Chain A
Amino acid sequence: MAEHLIEFRNIKKSYGSVDALGGIDLYVDKGEVLGLIGDNGAGKSTLIKILAGVVKPTCGEIIVRGRPVSGWNAGRSREAGIETVFQDRALALQQSIVHNIFMGRELVGMFGWLKLKQQLAEADRLMREIGFTSEAYTPRSIVGQLSGGERQGVAIARAIYKQADLIVLDEPTTALSLAETAKVFQFVRQVRASGRSIILIDHNIHHIFDIADRFAVLDRGKIVLEADRSKVKSVKELVGFMEHVARAASAGGGHAKAAGGVAP
């Protein structure tokens, strides 16, 4: 078996007697986009918080590039090259693009004076890398003037700065128009083209059907479906299967798992 970039083995998380995650097995490979789908309360945010090292799992193993990592925390997560773009985007809107990208990790010389030129050049390179092709903006532009999709692009650029290998995007298209969503996915494609991996989280499968290489569907703390994009003919098939799973789960509490393919 090929070595995965990041792998979760039997990750569980309980809050008291409530199981938020009940044994998750999941992996991400280099240069792939993994779509993580699930309703509100399915455990998506718990999962990405564990990935970011903000929340500690109750038990389970996290394997980075084939090696189990002990004492997983936010620092280890960053060392492993994982950057999370949180839902609220967390941008400072009155500030410039370059200021946002380097926020908290400014390039400084002696006595803390900023290396402005270097920052501008680096920001310019990053924005080109993700394909930020808008003609109206420069690294000096104020983020508040950008559209929602472009702001998401700044957040992604901020995440790929420092050579992150895996970028976790938490519902990046929420509250965006169709055109803006397309823009965000354009950025995502560029990031993948550069060989980085992405976990794309959404509660709606339609949003990410076209961009993801692989899907994992989360339901009440368990992965109920894992499927390659190539094995799924249409979004309808996937939706149909998910409905089937949901019905089965509510009827008998059982979980189906179809690794690598979908049984219609």
Chain B
Amino acid sequence: MTDLADQSRPRSRTTKATEVETGWHHPSEHRLRRLVLEHRAALGTLAVFLVMMSIFIAANPAVFMTWSIYSSVLTTLPVALFVVVPLVFVVTGGEIDLSFPAVMGFSSWTFALLVQADFDPFIAMAAAILTGLVLGFCVGALVVYAGLSSLIATLGMNFLLRGLIQIVNEGKSIALVTLGDSPAYKIFSSEILGVPVQIFWAVGFVIFATLLYNRHRFGAHVKAVGDNPDSAKQMGINVKRVRVKLFVFMGIGAAIGGTFSTMINFTWWPTAGDGYLLPVLASVFVGGTPTWGGVGTVVGGAIGTLTVAFIQTGVVAAGLSGFYVQFFNGLIIILSLVGHRWNQERYR
């Protein structure tokens, strides 16, 4: 049967050297081709974004020539980016986190309380991030060590934390009047030459996260765990710890996002973060990170965020009534998903 396999090759240790040295050519070492192949999800997202923008601009060129339309998007976009990027990691790791809106609200609540109590906003920010970290750990521990489904458990945590906020605050907001004069505000929330400074922080965060995802052990472990947890475990990766870290990262991102959002508005609302649930989820998947885990793209997620952020602005600016916004939201999401499905294959 397997006589074919033998071909009576010599059984000596000096196997024909040619056989080992030839072969293993590098056709896809061609740099450009490899880059396109490796980043095809992100490039697809970019294409969707560009097509969408050209349609908007064609519909009403005058509006898109003014800076204010971009300025307004650039103010709110960073908040979403701080949440979308960690969520790309979470989805790549084979999990989902729906508790981030409440974590955003909860951590920025810490921030608001401390600023209101005359603490330095830097300290308040650190405390907010710590809050996010602890909440993320709690959510992660619940999912990983109690063995709950992340979809349901994080949904439950979202309601639970938001409920706590509502019970304590009874719907009252906190105004942060002194915030505008602080150095922290200038560093994190002012403008440089008319460009909202948050966007620089957010872009820095995206670059850091991209490196973490592609060039760090953590990213490698997240992909391994999301792809084949049994394999990862067999190869000595502490799967549970990686999963908990994912939720901690998510908590930190949500805390930063929530704090930025509070700074922009000078006010903390008990509903802070609530509106981000669906746009953020949409951004991750529009960005080209598939639902099945193991693969994803941080840059794609960032472009996806940009796409989702511009839909509302663009629809209104293009002269359509606000009633069209949801329809276009849905249209872009569905078209992107179809595109990505065609663009990438799932191996099993």
Q: From residue A130, how far is it (CB to closest CB) to chain B in Å?
A: 9
Complex: how many Å from CA A30 to CA B292? Answer: 43
Residues of B close to A94: CB separation below 8 A:
223, 227, 294-295, 346-347
How big is the B interface, by class? Answer: 35 or more
Interface pair A134/B2, CB less than 8 Å apart: no
Q: Can you name 18 extra interface pairs (CB under 8 A) apart from A112-B216, A206-B1?
A: A86-B234, A90-B231, A92-B228, A93-B228, A94-B295, A94-B347, A99-B223, A129-B20, A137-B24, A140-B38, A181-B2, A181-B5, A182-B2, A193-B12, A193-B14, A193-B15, A206-B2, A210-B2
Interface residues of B (CB under 8 A from A): 1-6, 9, 11-15, 19-29, 34, 38, 211, 215-218, 220-221, 223-224, 227-228, 230-232, 234-237, 294-295, 345-348
Q: Beyond A129-B20, A178-B2, A207-B2, is A138–B231 a contact (Cβ under 8 Å)?
A: no
Tell me, yes or no, whether A135 is within 8 Å of chain B by CB.
yes
Residues of A close to B4: CB separation below 8 A:
178, 182
Interface pair B230/A88, CB less than 8 Å apart: yes
Interface pair A128/B21, CB less than 8 Å apart: yes
Interface pair B224/A92, CB less than 8 Å apart: yes
Residue of B nearest to A205 (CB): B1
Residue of B nearest to A90 (CB): B231
What are 11 sample pairs from A and B whose C-beta atoms fall under 8 A apart? A31-B13, A92-B294, A94-B294, A95-B224, A104-B235, A133-B23, A135-B25, A140-B38, A185-B5, A206-B1, A210-B6
Interface pair A105/B24, CB less than 8 Å apart: no
Residues of B close to A209: CB separation below 8 A:
2
Tell me, yes or no, whether A8 is within 8 Å of chain B by CB.
no
Of A104, A114, A144, the residue contacting B232 (CB under 8 A) is A104
Residues of A close to B216: CB separation below 8 A:
112-114
Complex: how many Å from CA A141 to CA B221? Answer: 18
Q: Beyond A93-B347, A114-B216, A128-B20, is A185–B2 a contact (Cβ under 8 Å)?
A: yes
Q: From residue A54, how far is it (CB to closest CB) to chain B in Å?
A: 10
Q: From residue A95, how far is it (CB to closest CB) to chain B in Å?
A: 6
Tell me, yes or no, whether A145 is within 8 Å of chain B by CB.
yes
Residue of A nearest to B12 (CB): A193
